[in-house]
Amino acid sequence: MRQISYTHVEFKKDAESKLTPEATSEYDAMLFYDMHQDPEPHWNSWMQLLQKGMPSVFLHHALGSYARVPAYLDIVGGRARFTLKPIPGEISTFFAHEQDMRIRIADPSHPITEGMEDFNIHDECYRGYYVRPDTHILLTTEHPKNNHEVAWTNRYGNSAIVYLELGHDSSAYKNPNFRTLIERSIRWTIQATGGSQRPA
């Protein structure tokens, strides 16, 4: 991706130490592709960072992170709880591997999707997750094993947020539409949070 470099960190290794206003001063945005559940020891400092303003993109199963932390729904704008059996009274999200999905552009005027056309992708479906009604929906699908909403924008504190459900494995990453969505999402969250003095 043009002018985009990155540092890869993992939870239970060094990611927790990066989620502070001080540690992220050299970064313009964060991208999450994880399903981490333990909010300690980083949660409070991460919330300070998001309140201050940290552009953030969440991919695929990151929707299922922090399943027992209510505030995570407000950050991402949605929540999944992956389980093999329904839990009475709780969200239960089911998944289906190796699915061919037709993705619809719900908002063709948004900078992330502008100029894009509906496209096909081979990916993993999710069905049964919750999406806040105040999110801005970018992509949808009519696939019977997937929720209608596929991608959206949200805002938490002073941080612009994008969630893309797509992106399970190399089949999705080979799709040029998916790569375009990731790059545009990164750039849009930076601009919508307040811009940057450096290339992304």
At 150-179, the pLDDT tens digits run: 999 999 999 999 999 999 999 999 999 999
Secondary structure (3-state) at 120: strand
- Tokens 């990916």 correspond to what residue? 123
Q: What is d(CA 42, CA 122) in angstroms, rounded to the nearest whole number?
A: 35
pLDDT at 137: 98
Tell me what pLDDT residue 199 has: 35
Q: Which of 137, 133, 96, 138 is nearest to 116 (CA)?
A: 138
| Averaged pLDDT, 37-66 | 95
Instruction: Please state which architecture CATH assigns to domain 29-193.
Output: 3-Layer(aba) Sandwich (3.40)
Residue 47, phi then psi, degrees to nearest 5: -65, -40
Instruction: Show Cβ contacts of residue 174 under 8 Å, excluding neighbours closer than 6 positions.
Output: none
Mean pLDDT of 32-43: 94
| Rounded mean pLDDT, 19-35 | 91
For the beta carbon of residue 62, count every other beta carbon within 10 angstroms.
23
Q: What does the block give as tokens for 114?
A: 């502008």
Q: Which amino acid is at 10?
A: E
Residue tagged 């009475």 (tokens): 88
What is the rounded average pLDDT for all residues in the chain? 91
Whole-structure pTM value: 0.92
Please report the pLDDT score of residue 80 as a whole number. Answer: 92
Exposed (0-12), middle (13-18) or buried (19+): which is 180, by Cβ within 10 Å? middle
Q: Is 115 left (phi over 0), alpha (psi -120 to 50) or beta?
A: left
The predicted pLDDT at position 88 comes to 66
89 has pLDDT over 70: no
At 198 the pLDDT is 37
What average pLDDT does this structure show over 13-30? Answer: 89
Helix (H) / strand (E) containing 97? strand 94-105
Greater model confidence, 91 or 134: 134
Query: Which two structure tokens, joined as six digits, stand for 93?
Result: 């999200």
Question: Is pLDDT at 194 greater than 60 in this prediction?
Answer: yes
pLDDT at 197: 38
| CA distance linking residue 1 with residue 176, whole number of Å | 11
